Structure 1
Amino acid sequence: MSSAERLIEATRELLWERGYAGTSPKAIQARSGVGVGSMYHHFDGKAGLALAAMRRSAHDLKETAEAHFSGSGTAGRRIASYLRRERDVLRGCPIGRLTMDADVIDNDALRAPLDEVFAWLRGRLADLVAEGQENGEFAPDLDPQAVGAMLAAVVQGGYVMARSADTTEPFDAATRGALCLLGLRVPQHA
C-alpha cells in the first residue's frame, strides 16, 4: 500500500472512531506509519486528507448499498436487503458520525461528500419505492421521495439509538418497523 493510501485508510478509521476534531495529524501519522513530510507531500494538510478519506468512505457506502439496491428480487426485497444487511451497528455510520462534528458541517468542502452520499441514498431508495409502486408492491399513494428520506433516516437514527442503548435492538426494531410500514414482512431475527 502506498504512503497516500496508508494515510487515507488511517484517517478513515480515525474519523470513524474520533470524528474530525478528535483526529490530529500526529494520530494519523502514528496510525499510518507515514511521516509528516509524506502527509504534506500528498495532501493539503489535515483538511485535504480528511476530504480524501471522507470521499473514500462515501464511495464505499454507495458501493455497498448499490450491491443491495441492484441485486435480484423485488424492489421490496432489495430495500429489505439493504435495511437488514450485516453492519457494525454499535460502531455507527462512518459518514453519519461526521454530521455531528461542527468543524465538518461548518466547512462546505468537508460537508459536500456527506451531502452528496445522503442525497444519492435518498434518491436510490425513492427509485426503489417508485419501482415497487409500478409493480404493485407498494401503495400507489406513497410519496417515493418522502419514503426514501424516511428509510435513510431510519438507518441513521437507528445507529444513534443503538449506540446510545449499547445494543443493536433499537436499530433492528426501527428497520423492522420501516419494513412493516411498507407492508413487507420480515422475521424478527432475520
Structure 2
Amino acid sequence: MDKREQLIESTRELLWERGYVGTSPKAIQERSGAGQGSMYHHFQGKSGLALAAIGRNADDLRTRAEAEFSGPGTVVERVTAYLRRERDALKGCPVGRLTQDPDVMADPDLRRPIEEAFGWVTGRLAELLDEGRANGELDASLDPAATAIALVAVLQGGYVLARAAGSTDVFAKAVEGALGLLAAKEN
C-alpha cells in the first residue's frame, strides 16, 4: 500500500473511531506512518484527506450493499441478507456516525458523499421493494420509498440504540422487527 492509501485508510479508521474533530493530522500521520510532507503532498489539508476517506467509506457502503441487493433469492431474501449482514453494531456505521459530527454536517463538501450514499441505499432499496410489490411478494399497498427510508432508519437507529445499551442484541432486535413488518403480507 502506498503512502496515499495508508493515509486514506488511517483516516477512515480514525474518523470511525473519533469523528472529524478528534482526528488530528498528527494522529493520521502516526497511524499511517506517513510524514507531514507526504500528507500535504497528496492532500490539501485535513479536510481534503477526510473527503477522500469519507468518499471511500461511502463507496464501501454501496459496494457491500449492492452485493446483497443483486445476490440470489427473492426480494425479501435479498433485503434480509442486507439487514442481517454482519456489522460491528457497537462501533456504528462508518458513514452514519459522521452525521453526528457537527463539523462534517456544516461542510457541504464533507456532507455530500454521506448524503449521496444514503440516497443511493434508500433508492436501491426502494427499487427492490417495488420489484417485490410488482411480483406479488410484498403487499401492493406498500410504499417502496417510505419503506426504504424506514429500513435505513432502523439500521442507523439500531446502531445508536446498541451503542447506548452496550449490547448488539438491541441492533438485532431492531432488524428482526423490521423484517417482521416486511413479512406481514404472509399473515
TM range (shorter): over 0.9
Structure 1 CA distance for aligned equivalents of residues 124 and 153 of structure 2: 14
Structure 1 CA distance for aligned equivalents of residues 135 and 170 of structure 2: 31
> 1:71·1:78 contact (CA, 8 Å) conserved in 2?
yes
Letter in structure 2 aligned against 1:39: M
TM-score by length of 2: 0.97
Letter in structure 2 aligned against 1:27: A
Name the CA shift for 1:169/1:184 in 2 (closer, same or farther; >3 Å). farther
TM-score by length of 1: 0.96
Letter in structure 1 aligned against 2:156: Q
Secondary structure (helix, strand or coil) at the match of 1:91 reads coil
Secondary structure (helix, strand or coil) at the match of 2:90 reads helix
Task: Name stretches of at least 5 consecutive residues in structure 2 with no aligned partner.
Answer: none
Structure 2 CA distance for aligned equivalents of residues 108 and 169 of structure 1: 35
Partner deviation per Cα, 1:48-100 (whole Å, 9 max, x = no partner): 00000000011011100100000000001000000001111111000011000
Runs in 1 of length 4+ with deviation above 4 angstroms?
A: none
Which residue of structure 1 lines up, in the alignment, with residue 2 of structure 2?
2
> 1:158·1:171 contact (CA, 8 Å) conserved in 2?
yes
User: Structure 1 residue 169 and structure 2 residue 143: aligned?
Assistant: no
Which residue of structure 2 lines up, in the alignment, with residue 144 of structure 1?
144
> 1:76·1:184 contact (CA, 8 Å) conserved in 2?
no
Which residue of structure 2 lines up, in the alignment, with residue 39 of structure 1?
39
Which residue of structure 2 lines up, in the alignment, with residue 93 of structure 1?
93
Which residue of structure 2 lines up, in the alignment, with residue 13 of structure 1?
13
Which residue of structure 1 lines up, in the alignment, with residue 65 of structure 2?
65
Deviation at 1:135, TM superposition (A): 1.3
Which residue of structure 2 lines up, in the alignment, with residue 48 of structure 1?
48
Secondary structure (helix, strand or coil) at the match of 2:63 reads helix
Provide the identity percentage. Answer: 61
Structure 1 CA distance for aligned equivalents of residues 100 and 87 of structure 2: 20
Secondary structure (helix, strand or coil) at the match of 1:159 reads helix
Deviation at 1:184, TM superposition (A): 6.6
Secondary structure (helix, strand or coil) at the match of 1:50 reads helix
Name the CA shift for 1:184/1:141 in 2 (closer, same or farther; >3 Å). closer
> 1:98·1:104 contact (CA, 8 Å) conserved in 2?
yes
Structure 1 CA distance for aligned equivalents of residues 5 and 154 of structure 2: 32
* Number of residue-to-residue matches in the alignment: 185
What's the RMSD between the two structures over aligned residues? 1.0
Which residue of structure 2 lines up, in the alignment, with residue 126 of structure 1?
126
